[in-house]
Structure 1
Amino acid sequence: MLRGRFIRLIVNSSLASAQAQAVEVSGDVTFVSDYAFRGISQTEEAPALQGGLTLAVDSGWYLSVWGSSVDFGGQGTLELDVLLGWSGDIAEGWSADVGIMRYGYPNTEFEGSNFWELYGSVSYQDFTLGLAYSDDYYGNSGKYYYVYAGYSLALTDNLSVDFHVGHNEFSDDSSSSYLDYGVTLSTEVLGLGLSLAYVDTDIKDCKLCDSRVIFGVSKAF
């Protein structure tokens, strides 16, 4: 209940301060050949349809809803997430993004499938460092930290490559902790975003955690 009141207070104060500001609406629809979350397939290595909608104001506050098809072996087919956060410049060349996020699985039946996460990141030019924390991660697995780094390199005006590495730390069971990493090539053709990614983890003997190449096509609006 305390967390829910905290969210309502933030939403109410944010909406009150945004009354005199213009609200920008943006979104996207994406098809990917596999939905990999922190290196692990959420679709049994099958394709996924995804989409998101964001309301943002000039002060940097935003409210987003994002969804994806998933496949947990018959234990759920939909992920639906809600984010409340702030992003913006904090100094010359520096920017930040902080917020709270609820991961929801409306038609998943087992206990602990829904969870909350605090997130934050700081970027300097093309480098990003980030941290996410949950006091009770997916499946009631306890305290969880995700520390990651990324670098985006523009190859041409219409072609970029992004590098990513992240450490997943399970405080209550360190044997479950693992590393994920990947490289993504992105471009735009005829108004469509195209991406080709290589993702992998250091988890052994796990079919859904091994290396793979993922293709994506998206349309922003």
Structure 2
Amino acid sequence: MKIATSTTTIATSLFLLGLSTSSLTVNAIELSGDITFASDYAFRGISQTEEAPALQGGLTLTDTSGLYVSVWGSNVDFLAEGTLELDVMLGWSGDLNDDWSTDVGIMRYGYPNAAIDGSNFYELYGSLTFKDLTFGLAYSDDYYANAGNYFYLHAGYSYALTDNLSVDLHVGQNEYDDSSASYLDWSVGLSTEVMGLSLSLAYVDTDIDASYLADSRVIFAVSKSF
């Protein structure tokens, strides 16, 4: 799928900005990753697995400058129209000062065995974090299934109840060219770490009434980073 010139130009600018604001050192690249089991894979409030469990994993190469490239995958279930999601990200993240940090980049969502026209698409993303509060914006000029322009405006907050237990809040607005398809998603969860494993339990919901895949549900996930 071809991405429009305007989106490509913005992505190139973000990449060059990352190069110009930090020094790239070839000998200081880190490899990190994670593997996750979740009782459901909810993307922006909508189940991608017919409310069935998901096995997910990712790998990231990061330079000391803040530049990174990541790959991430998960099983999906789109009514026999695809069973795998494989995403690639190129971005830059870093601290602006002691309290503020940012993350910008471009992401390709890929569904290698999907038969849906326009299932693969690109998205620009950016976020700004102040301590435990994050605001973010994502944009695609040709969203999933040829849906056209799409914006995702979201915010999240993590509040530490104890040294090892946090309340995680999220809200996001999904805006489509077709305003009748736009919707709100939100979640409230708890997260902790036990014996090197990250555990989370979250209530996820949307204001969509017409699809059982967007109904409220509780999702449990356990992950291991390395």
| 1:174 equivalent in alignment to 2:179 | yes
For residue 133 of structure 1, give the secondary structure of its aligned residue in structure 2.
strand
| 1:67 equivalent in alignment to 2:73 | yes
Name the residue aligned to 1:102: 108
What amino acid is the match of 1:165? Answer: V
What is the RMSD of the two structures over their aligned residues, measured on CA atoms? 1.9
2:40 and 2:219 in contact (8 A); partners too? yes
| 1:211 equivalent in alignment to 2:198 | no
2:15 and 2:92 in contact (8 A); partners too? no
Name the residue aligned to 1:201: 206
Could you tell me the percent identity over the aligned residues?
69
Within 5 Å, give how 1:153-164 maps onto structure 2: 153-164=159-170
For structure 1, which runs of at least 5 residues remain unmatched after alignment? Answer: none
1:33 and 1:216 in contact (8 A); partners too? yes
Match of 2:196 among 191, 194, 217: 191
Give the structure-2-normalised TM-score: 0.90
**What are the Cα deviations for residues 95-152 of structure 1, in whole angstroms up to 9, with x where unaligned?**
1000000000001012100000000000111111100000000000000000001101
Structure 2 Cα separation of the partners of residues 140 and 148 of structure 1: 22
2:15 and 2:105 in contact (8 A); partners too? no
Within 5 Å, give how 1:124-163 maps onto structure 2: 124-163=130-169
2:102 and 2:128 in contact (8 A); partners too? yes
1:21 and 1:58 in contact (8 A); partners too? no
2:25 and 2:64 in contact (8 A); partners too? no
Match of 1:53 among 41, 52, 59: 59
Where in structure 1 do 4 or more consecutive aligned residues deviate above 3 Å?
Answer: 1-4, 17-21
1:127 and 1:149 in contact (8 A); partners too? yes
